[in-house]
């Protein structure tokens, strides 16, 4: 991938900032998401809560389903490939997908290697639990990062943990002396130039969203106040009682995340939230896939 293409891909993520990316499984849901103000949709056959319930191996979605969603909306369409499954990624690129999510929500295809994302023209977003994971994914060519959280639970605790870990990792690097950066790069198992970037700019070199367990406008605003630049909402919308209303409220909450009065209004009368499962009561932790 040329440097120029990588910059363009990072730039698309800039345009998504302050927005909500919603998981959708049908063209109808995609239209609801777009009408509610989603800045992009993630096309997948089953939302994470259902993947979790069904068990078994979870793979890239049927291209026919993805194409249906691309036709239905004008906003960017993302789709998931399994960790390390570079052929699924090739297929998604051939579909001209706007962003590929190399995602722990699907079953990993490789226990050691992630996709070499520098070999693709299409942009990639990857999950991370801490700064080391985030920088390793960026070194592999990711042009956008999201927290892993714990998808399909409606429990925001892991997303909070991961966002705090990334932010405190950034603050730590910012506070180091220059002659301490090499050792930090070694500790994190990441290239030195990325540690130097974080030291100088006090931020990741790519846009950083939050994902995994966001179910309410308050959850979304919490992630924004903790430093997220936007939010992915997976199961939280279409597993709730009133998806249209909840989607719209979460979009507005991300814009006005610092305004409790607006958040109070938005949180009113949204109907049933998705039925949550506590992240510490579940057997398979998706976030532990691909580190």
Partner 1 sequence: MTIAVLALQGAFAEHEKILNALKIDTFQIRTKADAEREFDGLILPGGESTTIGKLLKDLEIFDVLKRKIENGLPVFGTCAGLILLAKDVVNDNRKYFDVMDIKAHRNAYGRQLGSFEAISTFGNIDNVPMVFIRAPFIESAGEGVEILSVVENRIVAARQKNILVTAFHPELLPDYTAIHQYFIDNIIKK
Kindly list the catalytic residues: 80
The least CB distance from residue 121 to partner 1, in Å, is: 6
- Residue for token digits 């026919």? 64
The footprint of partner 1 (CB under 8 A) covers: 4, 7-9, 11-12, 14-19, 34-40, 70, 74-76, 93, 96-99, 121-123, 248, 251-252, 254-256, 259, 262
Torsion of CA 184, 187, 191, 194, to 10 degrees: -40
How far from the centroid of its chain's Cα atoms is residue 93's Cα? 18
The least CB distance from residue 110 to partner 1, in Å, is: 25
Distance CA 267, CA 218 (A): 7
**What are the backbone angles phi and psi of residue 102, rounded to the nearest 5°?**
-80, 100
Nearer to partner 1, 142 or 181 (CB): 142
DSSP H or E run through 41? strand 40-43
Nearer to partner 1, 22 or 163 (CB): 22
Structure tokens at 201: 């700019």
The least CB distance from residue 166 to partner 1, in Å, is: 19
Nearer to partner 1, 18 or 205 (CB): 18
At residue 150's C-alpha, the angle toward residues 72 and 97, to 5°, is 30
Q: List Cα–Cα distances, 259 to 15, 100, 158, 222, 225, in angstroms.
A: 23, 33, 24, 11, 11
Nearer to partner 1, 190 or 206 (CB): 206
The least CB distance from residue 50 to partner 1, in Å, is: 26
């Amino acid at each position: 991938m040329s440097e120029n293409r990588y910059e363009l891909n990072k730039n698309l993520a800039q345009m998504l900032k302050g927005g909500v990316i919603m998981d959708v499984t049908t063209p109808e849901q995609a239209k609801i998401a777009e009408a509610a103000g989603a800045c992009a949709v993630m096309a997948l056959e089953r939302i994470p809560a259902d993947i979790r319930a069904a068990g078994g191996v979870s793979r890239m979605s049927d291209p026919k389903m993805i194409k249906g969603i691309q036709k239905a909306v004008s906003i960017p369409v993302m789709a998931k490939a399994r960790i390390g499954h570079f052929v699924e990624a090739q297929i998604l690129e051939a579909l001209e997908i706007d962003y590929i999510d190399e995602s722990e929500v699907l079953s990993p295809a490789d226990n050691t290697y992630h996709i070499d994302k520098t070999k693709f023209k299409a942009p990639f977003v990857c999950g991370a639990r801490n700064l080391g994971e985030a920088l390793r994914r960026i070194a592999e060519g990711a042009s956008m990062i999201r927290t892993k959280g714990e998808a399909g639970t409606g429990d925001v605790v892991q997303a909070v943990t991961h966002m705090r870990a990334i932010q405190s990792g950034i603050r730590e690097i910012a506070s180091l002396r220059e002659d301490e950066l090499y050792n930090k790069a070694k500790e994190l198992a990441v290239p030195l130039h990325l540690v130097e970037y974080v030291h100088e700019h006090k931020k990741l070199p790519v846009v950083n969203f939050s994902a995994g367990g966001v179910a309410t406008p308050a959850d979304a605003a919490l992630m924004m106040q903790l430093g997220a630049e936007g939010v992915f909402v997976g199961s939280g919308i279409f597993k709730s009682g009133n998806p249209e209303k909840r989607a719209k409220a979460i979009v507005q909450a991300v814009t006005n995340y610092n305004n409790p009065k607006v958040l109070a209004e938005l949180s009113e009368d949204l109907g049933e939230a998705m039925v949550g499962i506590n992240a510490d009561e579940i057997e398979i932790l998706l976030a532990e896939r691909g580190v």
